[in-house]
Chains A and B, each alone.
Chain A
Amino acid sequence: MFRYIIRRLIYMIPVLIGISIIAFITMYAAGDPIALIKAGKPNITQVTLEGLKRYYGLDKPLPIQYLSWLSNILQLNFGNSLYGGRPVNDIIAPRIWPTIELQVVSLLIAFAISIPIAVQSARKPYSKQDVTITSLSLFGVSMPTFWFGLILIIVFSFSLGWFPSAGSQGVAGFVWWGNPLLDQIAHLILPVAVLVYVSLAQNIRLIRANMLEVLRSDYVLAARASGLSERKVVYGYALRNAITPALTFLGIALGGMIAGAPMTEYVFSWPGLGRQYVASTINLDFPTIMGITMIITVMTLIANLIMDILYVYIDPRVRIR
């Protein structure tokens, strides 16, 4: 088990390097940054351009640029922003936690809710209850995430005024619901609701499908035949088998969720990496773009790793001797 984790961590490294190379090549091969800056600011003088070139080390050959960038990255120095010149670290650092907070809270809630719902749905397939849930799930998967966020804002924030519509904290001294902690929660509710609903839909569909198959299996029948209580049969025997295929997919979905952070954060003006990424990309601020990309990739890989470990823990057939 332990060896498995180590092996997976080692495996992550070449993947990270691969991604960093791809990211690097993407940014630079997509267009000479100097030309792009010029396209954005046509009045810029040649001298300034040359100066920028030297400042950002863009006059050195590509591999050298890559290596120096990489070594900087490893020391957690992401360089300076092309847009304003601030160190990228200063831009990224305070935005990491809000993104993690949003993702983790949403994932935990979504997971916790989806399991009982999916199980109950699978136990009485095609019943009224099940059909309603299945339809709602399909609905949820068909909905543009950001649009759902917009709807929630329009209804609950603008119309009803129950929740704040933007940001992660109250501004200008105004605190929602009395104290700072509740203020945080108030701000979390709508964005979390959006993320939860969408991933809830995906989770439920997947787990329910697997449960339906598992509930037909011989070992579930045998467990019933041995006199085990219904609860034990369903939650102990069936569920454990049904979840494993769902986990791999969940790992990918989680990666998708993290990568989809830009949408939700943009809609709710949530001060996280996603929203920053959108702004930086519009400005073609490459150092920041790269920095955020690497961080999000690391987060995704870690999330996948956790999922893989869970998988191996639950399903012993996968353990390699």
Chain B
Amino acid sequence: MKTENSALNKTPKRRSASQWAVAWRRFRRNKAGVAGLIIVLAVVFVGIFGDFLAPYPAYPNLGALTPFNHGDVRTPPSLKYPLGTDVGGTDVLSDILHGTKYALYVGVVVTIITMAIAIVVGAIAGYFGGWVDNVLMRITEVFLVFPSLLFILVFVKVLTVGAGVGSSINFLGLSIPMGLTIVVLVLAIFNWPGDARMIRGEFLRVRELEFVEAERALGANNRRIIFRHILPNILSSIIVVASLTIAYAILLEAGVSFLGFGDVNTVTWGQILENNFSDMRIVWWAEVFPGLAILITVFGFNLLGDGLSDALNPRLRD
């Protein structure tokens, strides 16, 4: 049959079709996701430069009972102290700015550790199946059922009783507070089972896709299949979960610190809230604003996670 390809010849030039380029374009159109990204970037910026941006220097927070800044204890927001001072006399705004890096530290490290363990466990369980899968899933189930917060509190308390007061280790030139790190480790220990289940689910899903069978028929061994074929497909889910985990970790650390289990010497946002809790009636600004910082940061990461989810796993919106 003779074909007149007049219309076919008129096909418009195609834009870059790589998976990531497409996802980025989709992401750009998602206003909420972009807003989240902006917030996150802003927070990261403050985290890196917070120490320079803050009007007043950070002070080792020994229980926050020492008047620091010229004895201006418990002053409401004013020009000198834009967000007021707390019970110990420290400028709330500075505290918040200094605390940003801790929040990010918690969020990122918890997420990295959690993801690392979860991916390994999830991959093994999801890919190999059988009794290995069963055993691992039973373990994660137990973790899910019991009240993690309770265990977290106990672990943290027990581990920090022994740890020195105000100690920190030097890592790549940064001074990392021990107390906070303990909290981070404990949070990670109790967080990975949830993500492991999700990743295992993803592995199961992708494993059953036809192209995996095809690869196997072509002679690929297990390791190759896992690393070169399945993982890349799961990458988008992992990214989304990572973003949401960062949000969750920040929230959790704030809660743990607020209840008094945090590192008293590291002024995280939750710690500020703890210090001023009993005086809340008077220094309400010291309770409201740090919490607002938490809210905005977590909100940013959640928006980002949602936006990424929409962009990387497109559901039919129409």
Q: A and B touching (C-beta < 8 Å)?
A: yes
A contact set with B: CB distance below 8 Å: 15, 18-19, 22-23, 26-27, 30-31, 36, 39-40, 126, 135, 138-139, 141-147, 150-151, 153-154, 158, 216, 252, 255, 258-260, 262-263, 266, 277-278, 281-282, 284, 289, 292-293, 296-297, 300-301, 304
On whether A19 and B159 interact (CB within 8 A), knowing A26-B151, A141-B302, the answer reads: no
Q: Which residues of B contact A18 (CB under 8 A)?
A: 142
On whether A39 and B153 interact (CB within 8 A), knowing A15-B145, A147-B294, the answer reads: no
Q: Which residues of B contact A142 (CB under 8 A)?
A: 247, 251, 295, 298-299, 302
Partner among A154, A278, A281 whose Cβ is within 8 Å of the Cβ of B287: A154
Q: Which residues of A contact B280 (CB under 8 A)?
A: 150, 153-154, 158
On whether A150 and B287 interact (CB within 8 A), knowing A39-B161, A40-B161, A144-B295, the answer reads: yes
Number of B interface residues at 8 Å Cβ cutoff, please give it: 45
Are A259 and B147 in contact, CB atoms less than 8 angstroms apart? yes
Are A150 and B161 in contact, CB atoms less than 8 angstroms apart? no
On whether A297 and B247 interact (CB within 8 A), knowing A30-B158, A138-B299, A144-B295, the answer reads: no
CB distance from A177 to the nearest CB of B (A): 22
On whether A284 and B158 interact (CB within 8 A), knowing A15-B145, A300-B146, the answer reads: yes
CA distance A27 to B259 in the complex (A): 19
Interface of A is mostly: helix
CA distance A266 to B255 in the complex (A): 11
Q: Which residues of A contact B159 (CB under 8 A)?
A: 30
CB distance from B270 to the nearest CB of A (A): 8
Q: Which residues of A contact B80 (CB under 8 A)?
A: none
On whether A296 and B147 interact (CB within 8 A), knowing A18-B142, A36-B161, A151-B288, the answer reads: yes
Are B142 and A278 in contact, CB atoms less than 8 angstroms apart? no
In chain B, positions 70-127 with a C-beta closer than 8 Å to chain A are: none
CA distance A297 to B280 in the complex (A): 33
Q: Which residues of A contact B154 (CB under 8 A)?
A: 26-27, 30, 281, 289
CB distance from A80 to the nearest CB of B (A): 19
CA distance A39 to B165 in the complex (A): 13
Q: Residue B284 at the A interface, CB < 8 A? A: yes
Are B147 and A26 in contact, CB atoms less than 8 angstroms apart? no
Are B255 and A138 in contact, CB atoms less than 8 angstroms apart? no
In chain B, positions 159-195 with a C-beta closer than 8 Å to chain A are: 159, 161-162
Q: Residue B43 at the A interface, CB < 8 A? A: no
Q: Which residues of A contact B148 (CB under 8 A)?
A: 259
Partner among B32, B259, B316, B317 whose Cβ is within 8 Å of the Cβ of A262: B259
Partner among A143, A147, A277 whose Cβ is within 8 Å of the Cβ of B153: A277
A213: nearest chain-B partner, CB-CB: B315
